[in-house]
Structure 1
């Protein structure tokens, strides 16, 4: 048996799947593709998370597209974070190309052009299904971590939420939350002090500044109603294919705080609402996070801890998370250690730092007698990758340098007109794109303040009226006494003109004598 035949047996035996699987390409040896030495990924292990990495232009996005298409074909819904805006073409079939036919002939897989059911989502004012969540749904713990608050400030947030629960004040958007913060240290200070203890104005001021920072990244568009129901990510079309939900993030690349806020809230909502799947034969949902470094680079330590916890726990809900980034070192080690599937495209060794990073990356893959991993990482061509997955028993499959299959859908974006047509047919656009601003904490507190001010004005008017009535009563009393005195018959006689003249007449006679 020659080396090529031994390698073929090594790959095919290591990629045998009894259940459903996805074939991502064929293994390569010494730069040559071995036809039908297919590299398979069992659906059973796709909730074990994964990584797609590689330098710019090496084919990461196309590998992501291949996985998303094949998952959809298997009836598994997908959520894609589209930072660069180059994934919307999945909604249209590939026009085909001779090079695609040539690639698939080398792999040993037939090529079939297909379009897929797509839903366009947005966090901003772009066209698509608007994703929103209320502040109440975040809760005090998650909101505090997103805002990177101190323990004392987190305590204030917890008190604020408790007050709103006790007084039935919905906190729907950031306007509501800012209003209740101001109320706690101004108009409602006495009420808060009595029921919950004194709240520091320094703490509320610091929290308000953090909220303003979040608003500047566009979070005021995200917080509010109608809240997005994560069950709508699980739809399948009439043919039984899973929807590919594409979240277009092209206009928030420079707003990583908003991106990480959304991601954390989404994962937390999925974890709290999806039922336990146990050891399922297929995932319930697969999420691909493109440009994953945007989440981790700007995240606080508390936020990173929260993300790491969710990554560890969410697989039991049948959810797989796949991080797409240029270098595996962009992903924290605690998260990297949880990843079962790794698709590593070429890395470039331009500097000593690059060479060091490549050596570290090579250590993340199983040893293979057929490859020098460090050398392979720098010699892979476009559309080629090192693939290491987990078999159905959770063991690493043989490491394979792989010629990746081509996407079945268009490898380009939709035009504005095509996007408009796609959105016009969407049931979810009609469901979520109406802005609702129902009565919530902001309006209710304003009413409460107005009512309090009206009562104060009423009380002031009452006191003023009482004071006026008292003064008038006193004046009437004085007038009455004067009148009473004037009506006295003795006084009337003594003060009469006749009496006075008589007295003065007597006095005059006495003086003359």
Structure 2
């Protein structure tokens, strides 16, 4: 029999073990239920089970409660007696324990900093992050293409901002090659980048970028539990959802195919999953469906955590084979419809009505269905969820800091790098153009000075005849030379060249 994770006890007396088979854990899953019904504890005990089996885990801590995974539970805890009673009911020998944890934080406050480059994020996810229109997304795609073709690395937000200015200044030429590049679209993207900066997006982009192998470590045979501090991040829900989708996409792109492993290489919990799909364009939903369908062959299991299964598009929901459904309340007609839909996604149990069970289960209970050895969903069961072995609730600040200081990741991502990239390269181009303009102006002044000296040195004989003819020819030649000099002066001093340089320096690098 395959190794499995004990989730709880099912059946009439809760004595029938409900387990999640490790070799089916990469078939993805769902944890759903109304607020306060026990989703966080279910996520916690699943993370414990995967870690104990040597499977690394990534999860986001929206409320701060999951940091307790790093600390052992205790008999001093107020729920110790209820926990031991529940463990006895479901046939579990509860042993308190802690688990290896690494804390991460986009803002670098409650965990090690975690970053991506603008180039890695790509135009599709950035467009979603900034809520761009199709036209604006097209312009952003042009900017990324130009960066690729011109060898301009896009690492942080200032790189992208500088590139967009350059694209705007060369819009006429670029439009002939890539289609219309409107200055209004450039301006709209720049405004959205400013909003992203104000939301803390600057902290996300830059180097050193996250090395995915740091998310997939084991320690003494246990999988590392990577916890993203998301309480502050949830203030920018689009940034939160886009970051997690980027991380999932990177795993999909970089990990090799492994077929059907005995256990996953990584399990990814996507909490508040409805944020990923709220208002998402079809192209993005299609991408999520593609990733969900194919990433399991890379050995990655994805578990969506949300209030209602209806928050997940049907094509994605159909990929989720392992399910834990906590209580749903049906107060309105819409609620009743969603309850019915949720119940219909389970394989019926003749012993009870699934819809009624979903309404009746209490805190710490759920209806569950996991894949069997053949990969077929088992009949739904009313299940009493096992208590966690680690601490229920958050740890204090000093404990978190001590864990961070002792982590293998301590110091690796703390200091940002700012190597030469698009911003610096475009600045060098601008400086070179400015130097060329200065040299041209100096040459123009030299020519003017020579012309003045030439005029001062001319002799006028005041006579007529051959001398007058000679003087007339000199005057004619001088007129031609003066006209030529005027053309040079006009080209180098008064027109496009110097105004273009001022445009680059003024718009792109002012205040830098």
Band the TM-score falls in, shorter-chain normalisation: 0.7 to 0.9
> What is the distance in 2 between the residues matched to 1:465 and 1:189?
35
> What is the distance in 1 between the residues matched to 2:157 and 2:279?
21
> What is the distance in 2 between the residues matched to 1:98 and 1:128?
33
> What is the distance in 1 between the residues matched to 2:338 and 2:135?
40
Report which stretch shifted further, 122-131 or 220-229. Answer: 122-131
| 1:304-315 paired onto structure 2 within 5 Å | 304-315=285-296
> What is the distance in 1 between the residues matched to 2:198 and 2:314?
31
> What is the distance in 1 between the residues matched to 2:70 and 2:28?
25
Cα deviation for residue 197 of structure 1 reads 6.9
| 1:421-500 paired onto structure 2 within 5 Å | 421-478=402-459
Q: Tell me the equivalent position of 1:360.
A: 341
Name the SS of the counterpart of 2:31 in structure 1.
strand
Say yes or no: does 1:319 pair with 2:297.
no
Cα deviation for residue 162 of structure 1 reads 2.9
Q: Tell me the equivalent position of 2:94.
A: 111
Cα deviation for residue 353 of structure 1 reads 2.6
| 1:95-494 paired onto structure 2 within 5 Å | 95-96=74-75, 97-186=80-169, 188=170, 192=174, 199-237=181-219, 239-478=220-459
CA contact (8 A) 2:346 2:379 kept: no
CA contact (8 A) 2:14 2:384 kept: no
| 1:7-46 paired onto structure 2 within 5 Å | 18-29=1-12, 33-35=13-15, 37-46=16-25
> What is the distance in 1 between the residues matched to 2:436 and 2:283?
45
> What is the distance in 1 between the residues matched to 2:242 and 2:217?
24
Q: Any idea what the Cα deviations from partners look like across 1:468-508, whole Å, max 9, x if unmatched?
A: 211211211237x68xxxxxxxxxxxxxxxxxxxxxxxxxx
Cα deviation for residue 333 of structure 1 reads 1.7
Cα deviation for residue 254 of structure 1 reads 2.3
Q: Tell me the equivalent position of 2:31.
A: 52
Name the SS of the counterpart of 1:115 in structure 2.
coil
Name the TM-score, length of structure 2 as normaliser: 0.85
CA contact (8 A) 1:148 1:303 kept: no
> What is the distance in 1 between the residues matched to 2:268 and 2:179?
44
Cα deviation for residue 192 of structure 1 reads 4.5
Which is higher, the Rg of structure 1 or of structure 2?
1
Q: Tell me the equivalent position of 1:69.
A: 48
Name the SS of the counterpart of 2:228 in structure 1.
strand
Cα deviation for residue 303 of structure 1 reads 2.4
> What is the distance in 2 between the residues matched to 1:352 and 1:328?
16
CA contact (8 A) 1:289 1:321 kept: yes
Report which stretch shifted further, 298-307 or 68-77. Answer: 298-307
CA contact (8 A) 2:370 2:377 kept: yes
Cα deviation for residue 434 of structure 1 reads 0.9
The answer for unaligned runs of 5 or more in structure 2 is 463-512
> What is the distance in 2 between the residues matched to 1:328 and 1:478?
98
CA contact (8 A) 2:128 2:242 kept: no
> What is the distance in 2 between the residues matched to 1:357 and 1:163?
47
Cα deviation for residue 377 of structure 1 reads 1.0
CA gap 1:193/1:324 in 2 versus in 1, 3 angstroms:
closer
CA gap 1:449/1:196 in 2 versus in 1, 3 angstroms:
farther
Name the Cα RMSD after superposition. 2.1
Give the number of equivalent residue pairs: 460
The answer for unaligned runs of 5 or more in structure 1 is 1-17, 483-513
Name the TM-score, length of structure 1 as normaliser: 0.85
> What is the distance in 1 between the residues matched to 2:68 and 2:204?
26
> What is the distance in 1 between the residues matched to 2:411 and 2:279?
34
Cα deviation for residue 344 of structure 1 reads 0.6
